[in-house]
Amino acid sequence: MTGAQLPSNIPPHAYLLIQEWQKELEAEQKLRHHFYEIVDENSKMEFINGTIIFNSPVKKAHSVATGRIFSLVSGYAEYLELGWAGIEKILVSLTRNDYEPDVCFWRKEIADTFEEEQMHFPAPDFVVEVLSKKTAKIDRTVKFVDYEAHGVSEYWIVEPVKKVIEQYVLINGNYHLRFKGSAGIIKSEVIAGFEIEVEDIFGNTPVLKLLKYLLK
């Protein structure tokens, strides 16, 4: 009786590679547990591919874009009871990595399961990362692939200096670019009815006034 055959492209030393990877993953998990012991509410830290990342303070343009997007998403979702939004210090723990997205959102049926003292959160339904020189590469590569693999349905990449937003939507397990620009209306696929002019996200119109317009 012949057993099932492995694909021919698997190298003959595959088991040795697996054993080596297993050792590396075990060492990585030990470091990850150390990360959980030292991470706190006063510092922005992430655990990415076996490395503890300490993020630098952000510039004004980054802070303004993050704050306005969060205020709009949070206020809109809370008023309509659609779910819960977090900003910057929310620790999203995925299979291998831990991120603190600039803005994230979970639909109500998921958010209602969260506890008041909860520190680790599952993959959000919607994530926004605002780029800086230090984080841009990771936001466009590692996080992009990780969010995609873990089912984050919508991912916005925001360039605060150029005032450009890219909107990626998950379709059949892969991200597809739905919108990119510095002008025009961006419509969320996850947050029902949430649509706004890109210029307003980077503009000076009071957030409360924009919310009143969105909720009318």
d(Cα 154, Cα 86) in Å, to the nearest integer? Answer: 15
Q: Residue range 46-73: average pLDDT? A: 94
* Same domain as 135, residue 46: no
Amino acid at 190: V
Token pair listed for 139: 């936001």
Query: Considering its fold, how many domains does the chain have in total?
Result: 2
* Same domain as 206, residue 118: yes
74 and 102 in contact (C-beta within 8 Å)?
Answer: no
- Report the predicted TM-score, pTM, of the whole model to 2 decimal places: 0.88
102-153 tens-digit pLDDT: 999 999 999 999 999 999 999 999 999 999 999 999 999 999 999 999 999 9
109 in any annotated domain: yes
160 in any annotated domain: yes
pLDDT for 98 beyond 60: yes
121 and 99 in contact (C-beta within 8 Å)?
Answer: no
d(Cα 123, Cα 93) in Å, to the nearest integer? Answer: 7
173 in any annotated domain: yes
* Same domain as 99, residue 27: no
Q: Residue range 170-178: average pLDDT? A: 98
* Same domain as 85, residue 23: no
Domain hosting residue 69, numbered range: 60-214
What local confidence, expressed as pLDDT, does residue 158 receive?
A: 98
* Same domain as 33, residue 72: no
